[in-house]
Structure formats: C-alpha cells, structure tokens
Structure 1
Amino acid sequence: MTQETGSGVGAIPTLEDWQHWTLVMGRAQQMMMEFWAQQMQQGQAPLAGPWPTPAFGFGEQGASSDPMAMMTAGAQAWAKGLETWGKVLGGVASPATDAQPVRDRRFSAPEWSENPIFDAIRKSYLQISDQLLGSVEDVEGVDADTQHKLRFAVRSFVDAMSPSNFAVTNPQVLKKTLESRGENLLKGLSNMLRDIAAGQLTQTKPGVFEVGRNLATTPGKVVKQTPLYQLIQYTPTTDEVMKTPVVIFPPWINRFYILDLTPEKSFVKWCVDQGISLFMVSWKSADESIADASLDDYVLNGQVDAIDSVRDLLGVDSVHTIGYCVAGTTLAATLAYLQAKGEADKVASATFFTAQVDFAEAGDLKLFLGDETMGLLQQLTAEKGYLDGRYMAATFNLLRGRDLIWSYVVNNYLMGEEPAPFDLLHWNSDTTNLPAGWHRNYLDTLYRGNKLAEKGGISVAGTPIDIDAVTTPTYIQAGREDHIAPPQSVWKIMDHFAGPKRFVLAGSGHIAGVVNPPAAQKYQYWINERPCGTLQAFVDGAEEHKGSWWPDWLGWLKKQDGATVKVEGARIPGGGKVKAIEDAPGSYVKAR
C-alpha cells in the first residue's frame, strides 16, 4: 500500500513498502554473494567468460580475481551512464521536435512520446547521436581505415549510451519495476548471473530447440567420418534425382544446420524435395585432436576429400559444390588447387553464399584484426590450441550491438523477461571452437594480407594457386544488407574467376538473405543479364524479382547438368558400398 499525496503527483511509501524494497535489495545481495561463492568453489575467476570490451578485441577471461574490483568497475560504468542522463534530465527544456514519426524500435512504446520527460530524453539522445555520428564524417586528415574504426567506435558508444539501456531512464522498465515491486530486477539479476556463468548472452528461450529433435531434422545418414568432418547423405524424397550430386561446405565457424533449421526454413529439405542428390559436410568443433589443423587440412583433408568421397560413392565424374561464408573462401582455394593440378573437372559447378575471396573491402570485421587482437588470440589459445567459439560469437554480436546485445540487456536484465524462442538465434548461440593456428592464419593471411587475391600468394600442399585461373562455372550470391561479407566484397569474385559466372544480389543480410525459402514469399533478389564491370553497374541495370532466389539457382544448376537417375543403390544413404555410421544430423554437430 502507498499513501497518495494531495497533489496526485506521487506517492508516499508506507512502512510495508520500505520493508519490501529492503527485502528486494537483501535478496539481490544474497544472489550476488551466492554466485561469487559458487564460482570460487568451482575454481573459476568471477566474471569468467568471453565478454567483449569497448576496444577492438575481447576482454581477457577472468581478468580479475577480486570480486569487489569487478563489482566496483561495473558500478562505476553504470554510474557514469546515469550521471550523463541525469544531466540531460536537468538540462533539456525544449528539445528539437521530431522531423518524422519514431521508427526506432528502442523507443516504440507510447511512454517515450506521451511522457514529457521521456520525450525530452528520447529527442535529445537522437539529436546528440546524429551530431556525434555526423562529426565522424567531418574528420579530416585521417586515412579510410582510421575513419572506419572511428565510425564503428562512435556508433558502438552511441548505441551503448541509449537511455533505453538504463533502468531509471527507460519508462517501460520503471513501469515494470513498480508493477512487479522489483521482481523484474531480481529476475534480471538472476538472468545476468546465469549468462556470466555461461560466458554468453542468452538470445533465445532456453530448452525450446534441440538439434535432431526440432532442428536439423531432414532424414539422412552419416556415411563417412574423419578427424575433421562427418559427411551426411540425405535421403531422397523423389523417384529420380539429379545425376550430378551437390556437396555443401558450411562455415566451420558455425554449425551446419543454419541450412537445415525447421523444415519450413530448411534449404536442405527444399533441395532434397527438388530432386537433388545432396551431401553435407559437418565440421568437427575443434579440440586438442585437431588443434594443428591448417589450410591444407581444410582444403585437402576436408573439401577435396569430401568431393572425392562422393564421386567414388556414387560413381560419378564430378559434383556440384556450395561454399558458405569462410567455407566459400576455402572453396575458391580448392578450385584453384584443382585447376593447378589439372583436376578441375572434378567440380561441375561452384556456388558461393556470401563468400569473399578478395578482402580489400571486407567490411567491419577488419576492425577486429589489429595487432592487439591478434596477440590476445595467441594468449587465449596458448594452452589448449583452439579458440573457444564464444569469442567469435561475441565478435559477431558486437557488429550489430544494438540488436544482438543491448536489446537483450534491456529485455533479459532490466525487464526480467526470458527472450522469445527463435531458431535462428539458437543457432547463433550454438558456438563452435576453432583451431587456433588456422584461425589466426586465416585472419592474418587472407583478411589482413589478402594473399588469396594474389597469384601465388598462398600455396596448398606446396602448390602455388591462382584464383584468376579458375574456369569452373560459378553462381555467386550476395546479401544487400550483409555486414559480414558486404556485397561489394563478394562481387570481387567476378573480377577474379575466369569461367562463366552468374551474380545474384539478394535482399536482407548474411543469414536471412541466404535462408529465404520460396514459400515464405519474403524479400527479393536482383538479376542483371548484361555484362557488368562493377557492382554499381549491376545494380543500375538490375531487374528486381520478388521472393526467394533459390528457384533461380536451381534453374542455373540444371543448365549445368540436367541429367537424372533413378533412386536406387548408392543413391540411398547406406545402400552402396559405404555403410551408414549413424543417423543425420550426426554426432559432430552435437558435440560441445
């Protein structure tokens, strides 16, 4: 109960209120102390886990063993934020009016506009943000890379300082706190401590999704297993299939089932239903057994080995290949290697999903390649020889901090809510460990050195390769809003490969631009049938098509080789000379 004041402006807390809020604070302190004690009993430093820092790198795991120091540092950071917004509360009388209706999801609640105080905070923040971001473009005397870093740093700072991220300047949080009498903050604290212990931000409701139960459920068998990968053959659903099979190489930095989410989103299921004889490589999450894996391993013992295995199993001369993201980069090296060895005819065609081979314009990820970050990677992996996948996840989250970090800080920690179930974000959080030496070499040689774009810049098993010599027919897909592999960077494949090429620009980004089933009727794609020397020329003359680009790719694939065969013998997983090892999706994708 509270006693209303005569003015109706506020309420006077009763003794019962004071007792309740004292109890809330006591429960919060108890939760913190129990957490620290549990961490110490388990031999872990407080706040152990891959937490991103504001710098272009990562926070050291267990940077301090003093819980009070960590708590003090956190309190100081929040205090500075609250101090800033306290000045805004006291200093803004007549903020600028909105030029247009609010479209920012952070401020979509009516309280942000209807309450004069929060309306002033919102408008002031947006005005200051625009000024800060605009000032970056006015900086003179710096090179493009420095300005890129500055732009990213300012944008990250602006997103972090949003009034929506602080309890006392977020009207929805204040309302929830009063309604629940502080239970939201206690639940939020519990959520935060859970995430700290796990070393990872929770982005989807726990326990909803499970690989093999409601994700990666397309029927098939594991027909080969090596120390580096498992090879999955999917069960046909048609009486006939394309004679030339398709082998998919997903990125080894993620789990393969991004292409086999729920059945209605599954690229794998769609391919099988279209009569494609389909194989998938499932990379092993790195441990000590493959800590020394290198480019040669991923090309020769990975991609070339899988290509040869499928050719031998089905008794065909060649296969179609797909390389997604970083696996597309190594697929380019594989094609160049086969070209140099006179074995290019093993691959009938190559499809690239948001992949880069020339990193001159590689986008925001280049911000994380400074000497400090490379040195930190060396420290993080020195003991076990592999990189904890949570560090890579933190990097990708930082690239879209507003959506992938701060929105969950508000929902999970301030509102005390569980995030909504989302299959894509379950996959995003399902991290994969990486061989340390190969990961650093990939970043240093390809991203920083851009050696793959040079003739003889790198060698595979002692053979210098040249991607300009690749004559394999190629289908190249890029995402218009891709922040990981920007379309201008993906386009550069067009400048290198010598064979026939088809470029498709898809709506959306690195994931949704790829995982866009026709039945969803979402987004669009652009095709330009005329020869184009630049991406801009392609865009200027492109024709827009509604929906998914998958049918366009299938039509192109069938033009490469439209022959079909009956489904029998080796076309059925386990029906040939190679017996099935286990059911899809296999054990490698489930290993943690």
Structure 2
Amino acid sequence: MKVKANEGFLTAPAGGTAAECPPYTDEPDYRYYDRQVRAALARVTGGISLISLGLAGVDWGLQTALAPGKLAHAAVDWARGWLDDTVRWLPLSDAPPAIPSTESRFADEGWQAWPYRCWRDAFLRNEAFWQSLTSDVDGLSRHHQRVAAFCMRQWTDMCSPGNVWWMNPAVVRETQRTCGTNFVQGTRHWAEDFADMAANLPGADPRPRQLAYMPGKDVAITPGKVVFRNALLELIQYTPSTEAVWKEPVLIVPSWIMKYYILDLQPHDSLVRYLVEQGHTVFMISWKNPGDEARDRGLHDYLHDGILAALYAAQARCEGACVHVAGYCLGGTLLAICAAKLARDTDGDPLASVTFFATETDFTEPGELGLFIDKSAVATLDALMWSQGYLDGPQMTSAFQMLNARDLIWSRMMSEYLLGQRLRANDLISWNRDITRLPYRLHSECLHKLFLANELAEGKLCVGGRPVALSDLNRPIFMVGTEHDHVSPWRSVYKLHLLTRTALTFLLTSGGHNAGIVSEPDHPRRRYRFTTRKPGDPYLSPERFLTHAEYHEGSWWPAWSHWLADRSSAKCQPRDPAPGAVCDAPGRYVMEP
C-alpha cells in the first residue's frame, strides 16, 4: 500500500509554474512500514507523542538544574509562605488568606472554615511554587516551557483537595444531608459515562445518538430547505420572513470539526434566525460527518467541492448576485484561502464581503492547541489518523477537555460523581456533545501546512499550482474575536491586520470560542468593542486597539447585521427556497452520527 500525495491542491496544472509550487511525488514504500509502527504506538497512547512530552520534560529538567538561583528563590518563597500560613491553620484564627483565590473551585464558603482552609492554602502555595518553576526558565524553548507548565498544571489540578470528598466542604455537607446517597447517585453517573465511553471505542457497537437537544426537533429548527447536496456537504437555504430582502445573500461556512447548528440553536439564540428576521437571505453549509471512505479528501476537495460549490449554488439561486461570505474557526481559514484564490483569479467577483468568526490565518501563536503541535506530536497523530482513516470525535473531545481540565474534567467529576448532581445540559452543551470526525488527509494537511509551516500567512500555500496571498484580498472584511478563546486567541486572530491591505473591521466580544459567537441580543452581560482600519491607516497594536476601540454594551449581532446592510446594494423580493429543493432543513447529513 503506497501513501499517495494529494492530487490537485499542490500539483501544478498544465502551464503551472513548477518553481512556485513543485509537485509532490509518491512517498517511498518503506514509509508504509514506519507508519505502521508509529500508528501502533499512537493507538496505545491515544495519539499523544510520548517523545514530545519526554523531550519537553528533559529540556525543562536540565535547564532548571542550571538555574540554582531560581530554584533557591522559589524554595525560599515557598518556605516563607508556609510560615505565614501557620497562623491561619489555628482553629480560632480569622486571619485573611495569604493567597486570595477567586477560582470557582474554591468559591464555596466552607473553604473559609477550619480545617478546609488549611488544605486549600497548602494546595495554592504548592501550586504557586510549581508555577514559578515552569515559567521564565532561561534557555528553555517557548514551546517546551508551555508544555512543561501545562503538564505541571494537569498534575497539580489532579491533586486539588476539591477532588477528595473528605477534604471538600461542599461534598461533606451534601454527604451529611443525603446520608451518603450522593455517592450512590454518583456511582450511577460514573457507570453511565463508562458505558458511553466503551460504546465509542473502536470496534464497539455504536449506540443510538442521545442528545438533550435533537437537531430538527429542539435545535436547528429555523425553516428552510436543502437546495444542494454533494458528497461533502448539504447547502441549506432558509425561508425568508420579511416582505423584502437584501439583494446580496449571506453564505455561512462552519468549521468541519463542528455541526453547523451552533449558529442555529433554539429560536432565541439562533444567529441564522436573527439574520433572516433582519431581511437577509441566508445559506448555511452542513458538512457531512466523514468516515473511512473520505480518508483521502483534503483541502483541495473542501475548497472546490465544498466552499466554491456552495458559493456558486447560492449565487445561482439569487440571480447571480454577489455573496456576503462568513466563516467560523477553521471554516473561516478555508474561506480565507478561497477568497484569496478568487481575488487572484477573478478579482473576487462572486464576493460582496468576507466575515471571519474566531478565525486564525496566522498560526505562529495558535493558542493552547499549540501545546499538541510540534513535529513529533503531529507525526504521531498523523499515523493514528492514517491507520483509522479519520480522527474520531472522542479523540478530539479528549484533547479539548485536557486544555481546560479544571472546568471540564475535575469540576464535572466533583459535581456528578461526588455530589451526585448531573450538570444540566443546555442547547450549547448538547451541541458540543454532537461529535464529528475529521478526514485523515484534510486534518493532516491542516496540521502540516497551516499549523506547522504557517504557509497561508507566509504566502506559500499553493492552490491550482500557484500560491495564494492574503494581501490580494480586495473585499471589505469583518472579523470577530472573543476575549476568552483558548482555540483561536483574539490576539492571534488580530494578526490579519498585518496580512491584508483592504478595509477591515475588527470586533472583540466577551465570551469564549463558542459562547462569544452565540451572543443573542437578549443575552445578559455581553459587551464588545470595535474599530475599522481603512486602507492606508496606520497599524494599531492589540494593546492600542483596547484603548482606541469603541465600547458597546450588548450583543455584537446587530453591529454585524448593520455592517452587512451597509454593504448591500438594494432590496428585492424574497427568494423561495422550495423550487428545486432536495429536502427540508436541517437535512440528512446533520442527523448522521
């Protein structure tokens, strides 16, 4: 079995310039056997590279050993802190804590009482000690320092007194109140979760999908029709609800690592419904959840048979009007590639504007996902995907949970297993459990070309035999970043200012990667700030943006809707999605497990 190179995305077509994009050749046969070995190891480790972790640990250990001054300083601070804490360890002491904590895991008032405050303060003191030893280590590479700090944080979080029932005042209080039945209920929850995990193991009989909010019934219920379908996607056109609509439609491109209906949850928090009510004709891509049959579908396929096919289908149903396109996360990254290609080849003719939601185009600082991305880690994950044909949903979920283990693992364990209280699912949590898979070649190309080589930002990513450049973008851009985004940090998203020359409106909203985008007008405690960079304006650093941007309370959705309207030419009669429709929304692909 030979490992074939991607045919089409990199290979220069007839007349292409080989010097710009040299064609890839088939890999030698011996690579097949090498990947078998690496894939076998990856299955044992769950896709985690032990070599990558080991190198980071050895590097940190050696560099720390060469810093006796740092070690002595940390030890003295730790010992002095313990001496200061001894006063608070007396049962009748009311001295304030030496290390104030605003973390939710210690929010219960019981942590102020003796002896719980002793355990909490000792834990915080030890945590601060290890944090000091894994930060600002001379000679340690930035990546290894982040990996060492991440691993140390996982270890200390696991040792938190909040995870031990007799050290946690909330659990002790609940045990007394329920006479211990909270542990009985927690054991049931653990058994249910263990059965779910076993059902997702390779070779197990899959269970019927059970979600608290089912697509087509509880969520994804904005009326519409599937008007186009191919092997990669279904294109949904939503039924208009106003007497007139803007001439230019809106096409939304979600990431292929998520089900599209995060943007069409319940009616009150559906971005799709909101846009329709504002007079926009809305199209949405619903990606097919791939299996092993799609292993060789790569960026070329998702560009040409994905975005471009949907774009031209939407344009054909709207009398050839230009299209406002919007992309979310990696869907936005693919959209940036598409827009750059169109600007290069057709002056961007089909596009009216381009919008990016929490989208990175420069991957030099990819957030906490970068912890899992170096050559060794990518080679290990690549081998695992190669052997399976895809990256499975539970494997992705585990990685994201590890990034925020404090909230997604330990706090959940304390609530559901120790307190016996199931967390109430809302529509966003239910959507998050509707897992997807990633085709081997697509994810491999993203990791190698975008995350490792940063080819898009550097103008080296080849499409049709020639590289595309974001500096060619010539349509107005609207970009949304979120304040607490662990996947696409807003400062990384902001780097598009350095890669383009066209008019760019940047909006920073409260919330995280998902909750910040799902920000309906009635949502409490929402805020945003934004600026518009016109061609020729000087560059504003992220820090200067924070001081110069306009500040607004509330949802950012109206600001984007008005921005789209200002860049639309006129209003026209609503378009009925029924003629030529394939089926009713939400379609078939979103229902497939």
Task: Give the shorter-chain TM-score range.
Answer: 0.7 to 0.9
1:92 and 1:254 mapped to 2: Cα distance?
A: 50
Q: Which residue of 1 aligns with 2:255?
A: 251
Moved more, 443-452 or 378-387: 378-387
Q: Which residue of 1 aligns with 2:212?
A: 208
Q: Which residue of 2 aligns with 1:556?
A: 563
1:480 aligned partner, one-letter code? E
* Alignment root-mean-square deviation, CA: 2.7
Q: Equivalent residue of 1:221, what SS?
A: strand
Q: Which residue of 2 aligns with 1:29?
A: none
Q: Write the deviation string for residues 355-397 of structure 1: whole angstroms up to 9, x where unpaired.
A: 0111112111111113443243234334441111111122112
How big is the shift at 1:315? 1.5
Q: Write the deviation string for residues 180-224 of structure 1: whole angstroms up to 9, x where unpaired.
A: 44433233233223223322999xx97532111111111111111
2:326 and 2:568 mapped to 1: Cα distance?
A: 15
Q: Is residue 543 from structure 1 mapped to residue 544 from structure 2 by the alignment? A: no
Residues 54 and 389 of structure 1: CA distance in aligned 2, closer, same or farther (over 3 Å): same
Tell me, which stretches of 5 or more residues in structure 2 are unaligned? 1-42, 54-81, 90-94, 201-208
Moved more, 513-522 or 263-272: 513-522
2:310 and 2:487 mapped to 1: Cα distance?
A: 27
Q: Which residue of 2 aligns with 1:230?
A: 234
Q: Equivalent residue of 2:134, what SS?
A: helix
Q: Which residue of 1 aligns with 2:280?
A: 276
Q: Which residue of 1 aligns with 2:540?
A: 533
Q: Which residue of 1 aligns with 2:154?
A: 156
Q: TM-score, normalised by structure 1?
A: 0.80
Q: Which residue of 2 aligns with 1:169?
A: 167
How big is the shift at 1:55? 6.9
How big is the shift at 1:254? 0.6
2:107 and 2:210 mapped to 1: Cα distance?
A: 27
Q: Which residue of 2 aligns with 1:111?
A: 110
How big is the shift at 1:130? 2.3
2:124 and 2:195 mapped to 1: Cα distance?
A: 35
Q: Which residue of 1 aligns with 2:585?
A: 584
Q: Which residue of 2 aligns with 1:498?
A: 501
Q: Write the deviation string for residues 441-482 of structure 1: whole angstroms up to 9, x where unpaired.
A: 201210111011122x12123232111211121111111221
The equivalent position to 1:489 in structure 2, one of 488, 492, 504, is 492
**Contact 1:50 1:200 (8 Å CA) reproduced:** no
Q: Which residue of 2 aligns with 1:7?
A: none
- Within 5 Å, which residues of 2 pair with 1:409-558? 409-455=413-459, 457-529=460-532, 531=537, 532-558=539-565
Residues 52 and 182 of structure 1: CA distance in aligned 2, closer, same or farther (over 3 Å): farther
Q: Write the deviation string for residues 56-109 of structure 1: whole angstroms up to 9, x where unpaired.
A: 999xxxxxxxxxxxxxxxxxxxxxxxxxxxxx9xx9774584258653221222
Q: Which residue of 2 aligns with 1:294?
A: 298
1:92 and 1:138 mapped to 2: Cα distance?
A: 29
Q: Which residue of 1 aligns with 2:337?
A: 333
Q: TM-score, normalised by structure 2?
A: 0.80
- Within 5 Å, which residues of 2 pair with 1:136-147? 136-147=134-145
2:116 aligned partner, one-letter code? F
Tell me, which stretches of 5 or more residues in structure 1 are unaligned? 1-47, 59-87
2:524 and 2:421 mapped to 1: Cα distance?
A: 31
2:429 aligned partner, one-letter code? L
Q: Which residue of 2 aligns with 1:4?
A: none
The equivalent position to 2:573 in structure 1, one of 566, 578, 586, is 566
1:528 and 1:310 mapped to 2: Cα distance?
A: 30
- Within 5 Å, which residues of 2 pair with 1:25-424? 94-95=88-89, 97-98=96-97, 103-114=102-113, 116-199=114-197, 208-424=212-428
1:343 and 1:433 mapped to 2: Cα distance?
A: 34
Q: Write the deviation string for residues 36-73 of structure 1: whole angstroms up to 9, x where unpaired.
A: xxxxxxxxxxxx99979897999xxxxxxxxxxxxxxx
Residues 201 and 92 of structure 1: CA distance in aligned 2, closer, same or farther (over 3 Å): farther
Residues 329 and 160 of structure 1: CA distance in aligned 2, closer, same or farther (over 3 Å): same
Q: Equivalent residue of 2:354, what SS?
A: strand
Percent identity over the alignment? Answer: 34
Q: Which residue of 2 aligns with 1:27?
A: none
**Contact 1:285 1:433 (8 Å CA) reproduced:** yes
Q: Write the deviation string for residues 325-349 of structure 1: whole angstroms up to 9, x where unpaired.
A: 0011111100111122125111110
Q: Equivalent residue of 1:453, what SS?
A: coil
Q: Equivalent residue of 2:236, what SS?
A: strand
Q: Equivalent residue of 1:468, what SS?
A: helix
